Structure 1
């Protein structure tokens, strides 16, 4: 046909594959002459569409190099681009000011928002908050401004809204929006810049005027746009007025009857409403639209196309569904060829099943596949599931810049400094893959692990780098101490300086960014590579560096901020920033948003997340205006977004091989199927095809379950290790005897394997620590007053308690709960112990005992530390054990499950305590020191003490005899009903696995 044959208004059917069909038509119009093709200019909606069209030309040429038309996104008409068809874009721009950079704009709006919120007489319900909150509000305000400018609604309309018709809340919002009407234009003028949508609109108008005076000599084609943005619609009109201008519409329904088309024009939620509105604004009718050259033959009669049309029929005309079996059954029944619907139980199953479908498509080396979904959670899950097969898939939405390696490291170092090197943020920074501390990475990892075990587990050190260094001096192994002090000391200057700035009430953002960068680059450096080379390397590092460079430029005159808000402020500025990898993804797979999926087709297209509120999206509530206010102001209704989403669905669902999926539950909550899913089910029921639509994918859920099902394994049995007798322990404390009886495996793990549980990182003092502080307080008190109590005994005991609790008193839980309980315990002890001492001749506290017991193979040493031993006036002894928790019952003691006190009595009778003469036992008591109601309670053991002691000794000797037998195993919980309430070794013994299987 030649280059002169193109021009006018065209459409490409949804079933034809827009990009490939467009490329074929352009190639035909150029008579397959590369030089002619290269003279064309083609405008498509997005940068992704540019890439898609390039790939279509690549397929058209079978991979050969070829000259392409000038391909550009519609939004890229500015003076940085070459002109269209020989016209200079800079000349069209003329004296238009530049568009204000996005980050600079948000920061300037943040200042305006802050000033507004700080006004004492504002009277607004929007409360003043930190700089981070102001930045988030500025981002929302910027989105509102973009919408207003894009729709070209004048600000004057805000003042004309009838305030008396709206609630007071909206009037407060209108007052807040005065930022946009009163202050923002003047600030923009000072910047010598304009809003990007306004500049784009003005440039379109100027370019249209230049084209009217001097039409391009080469074809200009606008393809794939629905004209939802007014400036784009005007550009399309200007192109249509050119002698060689063409507009190619995606998926226009050219054969709907007039009644249906009229209903479409009144329904903003319909898939064709946007195109109907565009044709009206262009002054054209459907009869003016021609079929694009190279479109598929018989597209009008495509069963799939007719099925989708019926599914999306306007609500006013759905009575036509009653006539489907009689009029269209044969034609529409072919629409389900290659179309499947699959409802999955949950989000996880949906993602795993989709990943399985995409993976199966790769078995054919010529096949391509894509997931199209607006559900970002589903997209991330599918991307993660594909890594099972080492497949990295291209996700058109990219990933948040804040989630990339360099930026997570940047934010982690900010949190580390802001929290004065608190253990968890400190480890988050030190364990980041980019952290190296100026040494080889493996060596640095070893240093960090040692620091964690020695210093950061358990109660946190004192704040700051100096507190960390002091903790290293106190707790580190001597052979590693100096090395740790050296490498932490290298970080100290930059971290200390940054922390001081963060602790300031007013700090320059430039100073904060500079100090922050010094910390990040110092920590990222290795012994061979500088920190900046490691931190900003690669695509993600480049994007992070670009963001920070733009930020440094944008904050040049930003007022000082409170240092403590710096981290949250950074995160607020990162909202919406995206990193899109350009390399390293699979060439035949993709994850696309609905807009990106509109213009391209794959051999398999999975349309996922078809639930109401996701696809179509929930219009939600406008944070600034109610629906009546939007209508009166001139903004489009939220339903227009549903119509655009419906059009995207129509285009994607028209591919040859399509699977529609949804999750019946998301995060445990039931979901409602998308309106298009429900409509399609209704049409299929009318055609009696509902049982056929899922047959092609019926096996996938079973494959997915089989893929995730664990392999059949032998049932897990309780461990029963039998170590050689020579390695079995020959020394026990009396508290370990209870563990030995109830859970021998714990003795095996601790004493033979030498395993010890680690403290939690930044651990709050637990019950054991509380018991230790109470024991130590009572020990010091009794040692100071071993006979009579002083006149102010309670005051002295509380004073001793404060000294013992002091290291933990900064913890809110200790100050609020434990200390008041100790005060009540102290009062109870003094009240009870004063009269009691009159009958005592001596008290010993925290005394160690030791005896040797004969075993079949060798002697066994038994040790203890008795909390309190009292000698009564008659020479007999009372042994007391303090319990801050629940003491054992008499039944447990008599059964030998808790033999601690009887064994201590046995040791005293056998002269096992130095400086305490052997003697008879008068009583064995537990003192329950809970600090509750009651604060304390004496619980003497009942029964004949001689029998208790004899039974405890006999039980211990039998236990020694049993475990001196090499065939006796160290079982885990041999009697589950007597198992300990807590054990550090439950996970090692796999208790939950074998106990769930019914093993004993």
Structure 2
């Protein structure tokens, strides 16, 4: 809608670098003759609500803080029916009863339901995300006023078949969606905004308002807003004030700007063309500022259109004053960049009334800076807020959903039960103590069966209770939690409509959040995040009416996808002089220190996201904006912010470990400064800030850390060890100290999947049972019987773990075949005596008797004496390790056997020591006899052990960690306790 012929449009500009809202307020005061009462008749339209607040502060600053009347202010792109300025005349042909806009969440859920009903195969969460994408497409079409009817003209023969199918899918928004809106009487938010802007333009065009109307700071990116600006510019008391129009560029550059969509001035060039004015006709809003300062000229030169960059060869007329107040900092990582920015902002607070802000499109960087400032107790206003899903209440909602969807998986149960909101009607400290006890007693180790009944069953079988009453207490605790969760678990397990499922979810959340003093609803919804979560759930309940039942596994992902679009913005306790702003929120703001962060290609300007619906040529033919236009809008934000008095440009060389490329604008600025002979100046100013930021967390001097050398008293030193622990004692004495002196044990993993040790234990148990059942001649079906025994012992794992069936079981079958063949060969000359047989041997030491224990996998009797066998599903030790005494297991077992100290086996000479390697690979099994005379090896091992006992019976002997690195164990549970990585990297290895 364009205005009729009127007097010449009144268009003004405030230059970049000038305090926009301050100059805007000054110009308004000049035009009302300095009469504060006249301000009430002025209407000002600004780009954002933040800009409206800034203009309010500008007027208050001019009044010295005294009460004053203010103009009527409203955001241009967010005009509502209540903001329409009506006239005193009757306008019967102009409809003012505009349809209500459908809520974004209701539209998203309705479109998601249409996606699920289409031929597209998608999960519920994917459908919800596609619904959001379709909503953005609908809004973009209304914003650009292109009309969906043009979609059917976009499938000529040169487009791929994929795009034809995509356009068929888009029938959802071309045919089905308009019918839904017509039946509901609602409309899309972007169309509602267009109708509001068009109605306001028609009202003012038909009957101009009596007061002054000023539209300031807009770049005309919304077509309907541009039409309204055109009307305002022609009103008798109307004016349009542009932000930083470059009136110093020559005609050649300006013509190139009009063709270059990625240039920061391109949007303004199109706007003034739409307004019907030439650039020379745009006047200065006030006469107090230079049209274009030195910094503005430098930035304009750096942003010169690509077609005119040959002008960089002849740069002149620019001096070092353009760099006054300009600093560049290239940090090594995004964490260091955040630390530097936080330090800059903290330093700004040292000057009273000084303001500072980080402007960045990188929300991760903004969150890092907010966290870095928190070390000084500074809470900063981040305009993007915090995602609801990342807040305490949002996390609680996700964890409750995951608990039910996972059928009470131990990890989900622990994550939820340890959340601060979970109390289960008890004192929070008692509730958390119960959780920790349940973790130790039940949830560490193999995963229980599904549901609370499965956890209760595992509790009944547990035997690691701290006291007698603990089992009963935990049983009562689990039953109570299960009772609170039962309706939600039942709803999620059946065909429950989404709205009913949400109600059950909320009921469980409130029931679990109750403590011994407050009801759950009073604890859950009281803070900022709780209030936002309550609003979100209320909106979702309304939008979910009619949504079908969803699979249980989809519910947590659905909730997460929906919460990702909601942000929580704290209302109180934020710092008044520091801010973290996005480029859009930063428009028209004037700050003493402006930090432009995240200046990497792909972040600022942002990388062009792939359109899920149309290819680039299709978007062009359809009339949607190109990626270059979005780059140009981002470039305008950057260039305008660079005009501030003090600007710091920051970037990180690596983000999340990935190398980055400096923003194209930084590279252009580098090129211009190099051509001017001023390269390196702005970088040098930032070096000190990098040094200070690094010094915050780096000690002045690093003290080398030595290996630990604990020397417990003799009374605390172990007097009983197994043969396997003797090997640990040789290789890593500190592990023996930690296990026996400190009595520390490694915790089992939570809901542990079976590992190599489980496989070895199952194979050991199966072979043990087979040999016990068949000690003499083997039956003809021995292999079948062994396989049956293995299937019985593998049984639960074969059913619940596909990887065990796919990998472990075939290996066991090969081991079984090899084992039976070997047994048939051995049985005529060797007779099994015992399997899994315990033994012990008492040795003497300076500190008193020392007990050596063992459990031999198998002992056979042959014609020459005993044969001691050790089953190994891993790699057996080498001959050299055995000779040096670092693998003494079999030699020590031989010493016990020779002394007749194995249960039920008389003393006899040992004829052979051998490892049976049971890998199940190729070969499936292998006999690996220990080289050397078993009697000699046994005597040497016994003598070595006695020497070791004598050495450690000396209270001055330390239990060092890894005294011989070459012989250190491949894995130990106590490496982190011994801080091995800290002292071993500095050459602090212990000595032998």
Q: TM-score, normalised by structure 2?
A: 0.95
Partner of 2:206: 213
Match of 2:808 among 786, 808, 818: 818
Instruction: Tell me which residue corresponds to 2:4.
Output: none
**Cα–Cα, structure 1 residues 959 and 587, in superposed 2: closer, same or farther, change >3 Å?**
same
Task: Give the stretch that moved more between structures: 447-456 or 614-623.
Answer: 614-623
Please state whether the residue corresponding to 1:838 is helix, strand or coil.
coil
Matches within 5 A, 1:343-354: 343-354=330-341
Q: Give the match for residue 121 of structure 1.
A: none
1:39 to 38, 41, 46: 41
Superposed, 1:206-355 pairs within 5 Å as 206-293=199-286, 296-297=288-289, 299-325=290-316, 328-330=317-319, 333-355=320-342
State the SS of the aligned residue for 2:471: helix
**Offset, 1:645:** 1.1
Query: 1:845-924 maps to which residues of 2 (within 5 A)?
Result: 845-873=835-863, 876-924=865-913
After TM superposition, give the deviation of residue 550 of structure 1 in Å: 0.6
In structure 2, how many angstroms separate the alpha carbons of the residues matched to 1:258 and 1:193? 48
Equivalent in the alignment of 2:50: 48
The answer to whether 1:163 aligns with 2:156 is: yes
- For residues 238-637 of structure 1, the aligned pairs below 5 Å read 238-293=231-286, 296-297=288-289, 299-325=290-316, 328-330=317-319, 333-475=320-462, 477=465, 478-504=468-494, 506-637=495-626
Distance in 2 between the 1:755 and 1:207 partners? 75
Give deviations 1:488-540, integer Å, cap 9, x for gaps: 21221342332333233x32011210111122112211111111122212111
Quick one: structure 1 residues 713 and 137, their matched pair in 2 at CA, closer, same or farther if it must change by over 3 Å? Answer: same
In structure 2, the CA distance between the partners of 1:560 and 1:990, relative to structure 1 (3 Å rule), is closer
Listed one character per residue, the Cα deviations across residues 246-283 of structure 1 (whole Å, up to 9, x for unaligned) are 22111112333223222222221111111111111111
Q: Is the 8 A contact 1:439 1:525 kept in 2?
A: yes
1-side partners of 2:899 and 2:985: how far apart? 45
Partner SS state of residue 371, structure 1? strand
2:61 equivalent to 1:59 = yes
Among 153, 167, 179, the alignment partner of 1:174 is 167
Query: 1:67, 1:723 → 2: CA distance?
Result: 80
Please give the residue correspondences for 1:640-719 in structure 2 after superposition, counting only pairs within 5 Å: 640-719=629-708
Q: Do the aligned partners of 2:87 and 2:207 also contact (CA within 8 Å) in 1?
A: no
- Please tell me whether the aligned partners of residues 894 and 934 of structure 2 are also in contact (alpha carbons under 8 angstroms): no
CA contact (8 A) 1:369 1:605 kept: yes
Paired with 2:91 and 2:966, the residues of 1 have a C-alpha distance of 84
Match for residue 744 of structure 1 among 733, 739, 743: 733
Asked whether the equivalents of residues 442 and 458 of structure 2 are also in contact (C-alpha less than 8 Å), the reply is yes
State whether residues 7 and 244 of structure 1, in contact with CA within 8 Å, keep that contact through their aligned partners in structure 2.
no
Aligned equivalents of 1:443, 1:88: Cα separation in 2 = 71
Distance 2:750 2:68 in 1: 61
Distance 2:658 2:92 in 1: 55
Select between 723-732 and 791-800 the one with higher mean Cα deviation. Answer: 791-800
Contact 1:507 1:562 in 2 (8 A): no
Aligned in 2, Cα 1:591/1:324: closer, same or farther, shift over 3 Å? same
Task: Tell me how far 1:83 sits from its aligned partner.
Answer: 4.6
**Structure 1 residues 892 and 564, CA, compared in 2 at 3 Å: closer, same or farther?**
closer
Match of 1:694, SS state, is helix
8 Å CA contact 1:664, 1:670 repeated in 2: yes
- For the residues of structure 2 that align with 1:254 and 1:329, how far apart are their CA atoms? 17
Q: Distance in 1 between matches of 2:10 and 2:477?
A: 71
Cα offset for 1:855?
1.5
Distance 1:627 1:134, change over 3 A: same
Structure 1 counterpart SS, 2:481: helix
Q: How far is the alpha carbon of 1:245 from its aligned partner?
A: 2.1
Number of the residue aligned with 1:8: 10
Q: Distance in 2 between matches of 1:458 and 1:90?
A: 77
TM-score for both structures, normalised by structure 1: 0.94
Matched position secondary structure for 1:656: coil
Q: Deviations over 1:563-604 (max 9, x none)?
A: 332222222323432222222222111111112222112111
Structure 2 Cα separation of the partners of residues 93 and 724 of structure 1: 94
8 Å CA contact retained: 1:369, 1:588: yes
In the TM superposition, what whole-angstrom CA distance separates every residue of 1:952-974 from its partner, at most 9, and x where no partner exists? Answer: 11111111111111111111111
- The answer to whether the Cα contact below 8 Å between 2:81 and 2:98 also exists between their aligned partners in 1 is no
CA RMSD of aligned residues (A): 2.3
Partner residue in 1 for 2:780: 791
Q: Secondary structure in 1 aligned to 2:618?
A: helix
> How many residues were matched structurally?
978
SS state at 2:743 partner: coil
How many angstroms apart in 2 are the aligned matches of 1:880 and 1:626?
Answer: 70
SS of 1:300 mapped into structure 2: coil
Secondary structure in structure 2 of the residue aligned to 1:461: coil
**Cα gap change, 1:458/1:302 in structure 2, threshold over 3 Å: closer, same or farther?**
same
Contact preservation (8 Å) 2:839, 2:854: yes
How far did residue 84 of structure 1 move?
6.8
Higher mean alpha-carbon deviation, 393-402 vs 146-155, is at 393-402
Residue in 2 aligned with 1:805? Answer: 794
Query: 1:859, CA displacement in angstroms?
Result: 0.8
Query: Contact (CA 8 Å) 1:92, 1:203: kept in 2 or not?
Result: no
Deviation at 1:388, TM superposition (A): 2.6
Q: How big is each residue's C-alpha offset from its partner over 1:917-943, in whole Å with a ceiling of 9 and x where there is no partner?
A: 111112111111111111111122221
SS at match of 1:557: coil
User: Quick check: 1:41–1:85 contact (8 Å CA) kept in 2?
Assistant: no
Which deviations, in whole Å up to 9, do the C-alpha atoms of 1:656-697 show, x marking residues without a partner?
A: 101112223334443332222122222222221113233332
Shift of 1:138: 1.5
CA distance in 2, matches of 1:601, 1:181: 44
Contact kept? 1:81, 1:89, Cα under 8 Å? no
Deviation at 1:655, TM superposition (A): 0.3
Residues 932 and 267 (structure 1), Cα distance of their counterparts in 2 relative to 1, 3 Å cut: same
Residue 152, structure 1, aligned to residue 145, structure 2: yes
1:281-300 Cα deviation digits (max 9, x unpaired)? 1112233322223x643x22
Tell me what 1:755 maps to.
744
Is 1:963–2:952 an aligned residue pair? yes
* Distance in 1 of aligned mates of 2:452 and 2:29: 67
* Structure 1 unmatched runs, 5+: 1-5, 118-126
Rounded to whole Å, the distance in 1 between the matches of 2:43 and 2:398 is 44
Deviation per residue, 1:288-346 (Å, 9 max, x gap): 322223x643x225111221222222233333333323xx134xx32111112233333
Going from structure 1 to structure 2, the CA distance change for 1:919 and 1:84 (only over 3 Å counts) comes to: farther
In the alignment, the residues of structure 1 paired with residue 67 and residue 809 of structure 2 have an alpha-carbon distance, to the nearest angstrom, of 79
Report the Cα offset of residue 410 of structure 1. Answer: 0.5
Matched, 1:834 2:824: yes
In structure 2, C-alpha distance between the alignment counterparts of 1:28 and 1:456, rounded to whole Å: 74
Query: Residues 128-168 of structure 1, C-alpha deviation per residue, up to 9 Å, x if partnerless?
Result: 12222222112111111110001111222112235223222
2:292 and 2:35 mapped to 1: Cα distance? 33
Separation in 1, partners of 2:158, 2:383: 44
- Corresponding residue number in structure 2 for 1:143: 136
